[in-house]
Amino acid sequence: MNIERIECVPLKMPLPRTFRGSSYFMTHRCTIVTRVYTSEGIVGEIYNGDEFETQGEVVKIILEEIQPLLLGRDAFNIEGCWQAMLKLSFNILRDRKLAMCAIACVDSALWDAVGKALDVPLYKLWGGYRDRLPSICIAGYYEEGKTLADFGREMESIRAAGHAGCKFKVGGRTPKEDAERVRTGRNIRWFEEPVRWYNDRLDMAAARAQTRIPICAGQSEISKTGCRDLMMAGAIDVCNFDASWGGGPTEWRRVASIAAAFTVEMAHHEEPQIATHLLASIPHGTYLETFHPDRDPLFPRIVANRSPFKDGWYQLPEGPGFGVELDRAAIERYKV
């Protein structure tokens, strides 16, 4: 089953309002639909990422640099394709994260093609540990005039929507205000990226030594070695490496193997269309992260066969590959 061509469809969807974290804001939900066409007529198709300003550059890397490298290669040779693509990250004159995002798009589509060729869901191909995941909703964004009572009502609405919990924001207000936010929480599962990036390993290790709350990080890394170093420093209890930012499912599964050796749990930063299969395939996977539909209108609109969230759980799709059926009309409406 040889690779014949690669296609990209960049999407940008405006959000109904601006969403603010501690030091950033989002006005659009962006992604790239990548399709890998094969000689057997099988098409691997999935969407990755949320790049806004750099989306065009990622697409350019895929079409102009990755595609010539992979044409004619066996789509089952995932490792060979991945190593061939990796050299694009060696260009010191551009942000290597852009190359890793591009690699992630193609790697994900290749895995979808392989799953379809074998007629098996990827979570089963990768280990098949379980067929459903507990789900959490990323919410609790900063809004002017938002009170703790409003915050509480938001949490209640998330439970009513079928989620097991919520990941909410801290770090964007005064310590007193953020402490009040934290006090409203119950059964805090982890504290995510609690320090600045420039001394993260040492500072997170110090923070971890001073609290009983587990520490989570990894989404800001783009390689298995970056995550390995967090673990070797004793800095984290949970690693939320993002396959769409760090080279795709192939690299995420390497990180998961390293994490197992360090007794570190695995999470995944956002991207439920990818994360479901990765997290369900291993025994040390944790929660599936999703957004409120206003923050990520793509997942409910573009995935035509999305399972419902019920009683805190999300049932994995049983179709081959990622098992995701993309809505063509939605793609056509929001393509760039």
Residue-wise pLDDT for 162-191, tens only, equals 999 999 888 888 888 888 888 887 789 999
Greater confidence (20 vs 41) lies with 41
Q: How far apart are CA 141 and CA 22, in angstroms?
A: 9
| Average pLDDT over the chain, rounded to an integer | 95
Segment 278-289, tens digit of pLDDT: 999 999 999 999
pLDDT digits (tens, 9 = 90+) for 7-17: 999 999 999 88
State pTM to two decimals.
Answer: 0.96
Sorted by sequence, the CB contacts under 8 Å of residue 207 that are 6+ apart come out as 191, 194, 195, 215
Q: Name the one residue in this structure whose structure tokens are 């900063």.
A: 142
pLDDT at 125 over 90: yes
- Provide CB contacts within 8 A for 50, sequence distance 6+: 29, 30, 31, 244, 270
| Rounded distance between C-alpha atoms, residue 232 and residue 196, angstroms | 19
Using alpha carbons, select from 261, 332, 36, 275 the residue that is nearest to residue 138: 275
pLDDT of residue 322: 99
User: Which of 183-197, 226-240, 298-312 is the most confident on average?
Assistant: 226-240
The answer to whether 164 and 135 have CB atoms below 8 angstroms apart is yes
Q: How many CA atoms lie within 13 A of 59 on its CB side?
A: 21
**Burial letters 31-61, b for 16+ CB under 10 A, else e:** bbbbbbbbeeebbbbbbbbbbeeebebbbeb
Domains (ranges, CATH) in the chain? 3-118 (3.30.390.10), 124-326 (3.20.20.120)
